[in-house]
Amino acid sequence: DAGVIQSPRHEVTEMGQEVTLRCKPISGHDYLFWYRQTMMRGLELLIYFNNNVPIDDSGMPEDRFSAKMPNASFSTLKIQPSEPRDSAVYFCASRGVYTGELFFGEGSRLTVL
């Protein structure tokens, strides 16, 4: 398996633009997580899905952020409109039957100017 695949790896955009980050989890995994990592706040859980259903989105910073999982092999995290404070590395992770291990993608580094 190729692991968790995220795109784009890097995104530079201007304030006010819409940003869409994409994630393909490992086949067979039924949990998917979106994290944000910054120097100031460290690693924050934004939202997670179980069997494509959002379970807990309490970490989503505000209404400008939304996430969807239309099927078991694809998820998106959208920011609209983007702001400079959204600049961070966004990670997607997945897991299946509980062994304690989360599998992380390589991240999408977002810079909002």
Binding site for other proteins (CB under 8 A): 4, 31, 42-43, 45, 48, 50, 55-56, 91, 93, 98-102, 104-107
Minimum distance, C-beta of residue 15 to other proteins, in the bound complex (Å) = 25
How would you class 36 by CB atoms within 10 Å of its CB: exposed for 0-12, middle for 13-18, buried for 19 or more?
Answer: buried
Residue for token pair 């633009």: 17
Q: Which is nearer to other proteins, 81 or 96 (CB)?
A: 96
Q: Which is nearer to other proteins, 63 or 97 (CB)?
A: 97
Minimum distance, C-beta of residue 98 to other proteins, in the bound complex (Å) = 5
Minimum distance, C-beta of residue 106 to other proteins, in the bound complex (Å) = 5
Quote the DSSP letter at residue 9: S
Question: 3-class SS at 49?
Answer: strand
Cα angle for residues 98, 102, 108 (degrees, 5° grid): 150
Tokens of 16: 């006010």
Q: Which is nearer to other proteins, 15 or 43 (CB)?
A: 43
Per the DSSP assignment, residues forming a β-bridge with 76 are 22, 68
Q: How many residues does the chain have?
A: 113
Minimum distance, C-beta of residue 16 to other proteins, in the bound complex (Å) = 28
Q: Which is nearer to other proteins, 40 or 71 (CB)?
A: 40
